[in-house]
Amino acid sequence: MSVVARFEVRYTQYLDERGRALGPLPEFARDPRALVPAYRAMVLMRALDAKAIALQRTGRMGTYASTLGKEAIDAGCGAVLEKDDVVLPSYRESGVLFLRGVAPHRVFLYWGGDERGNVFPESPRDFPFCVPIATQLAHAVGVAYAIRLRGERRAALAFAGDGATSKGDFHEALNAAGVWCLPLVVLVVNNQYAISMPRRRQTAAETLAQKAIAAGIACEQVDGNDAIAVRDVVGRALARARAGDGPTLVEALTYRLSDHTTADDASRYRSAEELAEAWKREPVARLRAWLAANGAWTKEDEVALERECAARAEAAAKAYLETPPPDPEQMFRHLYAQLPAAYRWQRAAACGEATEDACA
């Protein structure tokens, strides 16, 4: 008997739980001030998240999926995406979209049940939120194939949760990406829970990253609570994709500090002790500690930033609440290229007109 192949999964972390450097940092982090924009973005994400939850709890927004705990992933990815790249989010990537220029009130509109919030004029290449699990990965393969077919030097970045790695769509997408050597990066946000299903109960794989090995594509793990590490790992993966060197699967290890959505109660399936331990590793405090220790952030800076972010969150909520509701015709606008007769009279009735062509 002989060994025909060996594989390994590498793990990257630069800052420990207290924000102390574990060793030499990548070039972009040598000047701590260069990471201040990422920290500011993370604090804003948290403020907008808190405002969205407040809107939902007071009956002014529908079910909402919190981003609490994944700010470093969104900030790290946002820092290395180029304008012509394409983002294919799941339903928890609002932080990335903010960094792509998408106005926060659009995200509020989406979770308020207004599909106009799923259109991003500020970043028109990016795809809308995707609630079905893992289906966006097949879309990402199509996008990446088109990029390769056109000979363009850009990449697609698709997001998925740990639960998505147990879906057939996930494996089919990786297989196609590997066979066709596509410019695709798949970022698996391993926040330890697929709603109430803990990661240990949904897969026996030692890592989620290794699921890429069967597809013949590169893979690695990163500390998803370390913004420096995420930026480094995802940046390198995107650079490889743009250069034509093929796809990469990145597993970002983090923890969902919130309920799955505002319709969930996570206390039913995880302990308070487990959550308290996870808070010790959270990303915002970690990066703040590193910046402060290296002279790039002060208490005065923090106070000013908190005020600024609170004001921006209030402004986003105001813009959302003051947006006039869509007209009834919107329900029919994108169903068919030519609306069937069975729907034409319904459209006319919804628009308050007597004839079926009144809303045409």
pLDDT at 354: 57
Locate the domains of the chain by residue range: 10-326, 327-360
Residue 321: alpha-carbon gap to chain centroid: 24
Q: For 10-326, CATH number? A: 3.40.50.970
pLDDT at 358: 47
Confidence of residue 328 (pLDDT cuts 50, 70, 90): confident
pTM of the model: 0.94
Question: Which residues participate in catalysis according to the annotation?
Answer: 256, 260, 269
pLDDT digits (tens, 9 = 90+) for 204-231: 999 999 999 999 999 999 999 999 999 9
pLDDT at 356: 46
**Residue 247 above 70 pLDDT?**
yes
pLDDT digits (tens, 9 = 90+) for 333-342: 888 999 999 9
